[in-house]
Structure 1
């Protein structure tokens, strides 16, 4: 038997609130299934399980706030027998389907998604859709209680059984609490500056070639398929990490733990204040179009409080981009247990020497803050030089 515990969804998290169970005793689950929604200062996080088996006992009620590490449920392995008979549900584990986000604007990469799309498609989990079809119920007539107002399986069952409670559910905060989030970030950053021996490097990059290529590429595309400027640095950063892998990983128990997967945490400013840095997974293995699609989806869900637990726990390095704010440069603080963070500033026109003559060029300041326990300035310089070189051949990214 395995325990499903309240996860630590970041160095600044000490407790979480159970918003919803997406399974019940007797349900079969497999690694990667979303089984609960946990509310933190960073919003409602769809929380996955990493065990295979059957749900045994649910130990925490919806609305309860418990510390990280608290056992939320028991999971019975395939070779174990439940202590009591439970009815196995044929419903598939729920994983909320986000509505296709609207086209991003240059000043706002991903607007908040609507609960219902223009076509009338209601936001709901796959299991809820399946059950509503079986029962002949219209999703549009069911009030959703899931994150972002999504219709869940329990909502459909409650309507079908005529047991919709008259009393509201336990009051659970939606979205995020900017004040609590700021305190959590401050605690994590104070710990980082105290424990991690940072070193800092920076370089100025001529962005003429990347900008020209991007403009020509986007001119050939439909508006909905155009690439945002951030996509190129994301892919170049991921490929550069292949050459300097010690910057991609975690420092735990006095040793570096390098990881093969390159999951870049993208710092996203939230409306109303606050910041999250969820992971964009396997960036080095994806095309620019795939990176663009995933980035749009990640920003949309981050700002509507619909992130997954894996996106909060497995970023192996972070990218913070201050270009949209007008700031020319940033030297970030490492988010533990990561060992590096890359910062990008605004692209500004500066005098640049080309073939012995001075001419105006679009220039971007790129910085690296890294942990001196696992790398040094020489390796950091190789990373930044590789990053710059890759940006100069955007067609190869």
Structure 2
């Protein structure tokens, strides 16, 4: 029998390569169809790549830390004998079947980058092949884990997932299972050793030890940025280098909206504060579409769109991600709330596919959820504006000539000064602020679907 070669598939959004984070199988192991074989990191997320073949692993292409091009060999599998083929769950899928052609990518998430050794990306079309004599082995136990976040947490704690008993009725291990096992383990009890990439100080970093000439301090370690961190750095640097940004802000009395949400909660779950502010911002963008557009590549014009893809900043274990609500302008407050919650949960659990982390045309940064009152955020290039939302806290406020405690928050708008001037930006921000201060008044004065659906 000849080995089937599985090449790295297109992981979505036109990504051309991925960094090999960790092999989940070894040469000689028996794999089943759709079993995760490797964790790879793209500029968007960490992805578990499943095998389209069932059989014995004949070769692995590349080592941990290598960059593998889409379409380059990833793994070779010696398929099971013909008489066993009928037992396979599904026919093998061709390597050309990218994520957009039906291939299932099992799990998106995080892996620890602390102390990962310095790596050199491969520039060739394919990476070196690692082979070994196949060894007889029993079929490995496939631990049912939904997210690589759980595997990364187990590695960081040195816990063998195969020893854990899942609490979920479907038998899937969760973060809570790992944390419970770590919390109840006897002090000093040896745990499964974690790989160096899970937190141990790498040799490459230790070799850099010495005195920093700029600070005079002893260098403890040098840790390379993760691919996601590098992508964020490139985007933020490009934003600051290309966009002449300006910021306007305003303090808003959000008491009426705050109390309105509390009343809604009596009849069930109230939509989040962010979903209301998002709905108000979308309504204001309909009257100021230039703030939801993009500057042309030559910098000489502006492209505006019919509708808004709303990005929002989500704090996760991997860092700050920006999930995208597509055609958010069509959604009511409750629909926005459901979609924001779904995307935020998936981002935190590491199950958000790359396609839902791209394509935004306007972004909201709810830094108030982190306990921050104000911030001048960096525009999410290539967008032209970003709305910031601080925390709503009780402050003394003058109401009808008297000082009273009110829920006050700060809104900020950072905008591209090439696209518009301060008057338009201030007008947009004031519309959002007025809606927060008098939500019923805004809905009463708004014609069309928005008033009926909000």
Give the TM-score category using the shorter length.
0.5 to 0.7
2:393 pairs with 324, 348, 351, which one? 348
Asked if structure 1 preserves the Cα contact closer than 8 Å seen for 2:44 and 2:354, the reply is no
2:238 matches 1:194? no
Match of 2:315 in 1: 269
Residue by residue over 1:20-64, the C-alpha shift from the partner in whole angstroms, topping out at 9 and shown as x without a partner, is xxxxxxxxxxxxxxxxx96325423699xxxxxxxxxxxxx8997
SS at the partner of 2:404?
A: strand
Aligned-residue offset at 1:308: 2.6
2:358 matches 1:313? yes
SS at the partner of 2:273?
A: coil
Residues 189 and 341 of structure 1: is their aligned pair in 2 closer, same or farther, counting only changes over 3 Å?
Answer: same
Gaps of 5+ in 1: 20-36, 48-60, 74-86, 99-111, 113-140, 151-170
Given the two structures, how large is their TM-score scaled by the length of structure 1?
0.60
Match of 1:258 in 2: 304
Given the two structures, how large is their TM-score scaled by the length of structure 2?
0.53
Asked if structure 1 preserves the Cα contact closer than 8 Å seen for 2:373 and 2:410, the reply is yes
Asked if structure 1 preserves the Cα contact closer than 8 Å seen for 2:12 and 2:355, the reply is no
- Give the structure with higher Rg (CA): 2
1:65 pairs with 61, 64, 67, which one? 67
SS at the partner of 1:199?
A: strand
Gaps of 5+ in 2: 1-8, 22-38, 50-60, 74-90, 111-140, 151-194, 199-222, 444-450
1:43 pairs with 42, 45, 49, which one? 45
Asked if structure 1 preserves the Cα contact closer than 8 Å seen for 2:292 and 2:361, the reply is yes
- In the alignment of these two chains, the number of paired residues is 281
| Greater displacement, 325-334 / 251-260 | 251-260
Q: Superposition pairs for residues 47-126 of structure 1, below 5 Å?
A: 65-66=67-68, 93=102
Aligned-residue offset at 1:310: 2.7
Alpha-carbon distance in 2 for matches of 1:203, 1:238: 18
Alpha-carbon distance in 1 for matches of 2:390, 2:422: 21
1:228 pairs with 269, 272, 295, which one? 272
Aligned-residue offset at 1:148: 4.4
Alpha-carbon distance in 2 for matches of 1:62, 1:295: 38
Residues 18 and 236 of structure 1: is their aligned pair in 2 closer, same or farther, counting only changes over 3 Å?
Answer: farther
Asked if structure 1 preserves the Cα contact closer than 8 Å seen for 2:392 and 2:408, the reply is yes
SS at the partner of 1:188?
A: helix
SS at the partner of 2:231?
A: helix
Match of 1:300 in 2: 345
Residues 210 and 97 of structure 1: is their aligned pair in 2 closer, same or farther, counting only changes over 3 Å?
Answer: farther
Residues 349 and 288 of structure 1: is their aligned pair in 2 closer, same or farther, counting only changes over 3 Å?
Answer: same
2:342 matches 1:333? no
Asked if structure 1 preserves the Cα contact closer than 8 Å seen for 2:387 and 2:412, the reply is yes
Q: Larger relative CO (CA 8 A, sep 6+): 1 or 2?
A: 1
Alpha-carbon distance in 2 for matches of 1:62, 1:389: 57
Residues 220 and 369 of structure 1: is their aligned pair in 2 closer, same or farther, counting only changes over 3 Å?
Answer: same
Coordinate RMSD, CA, aligned = 3.9
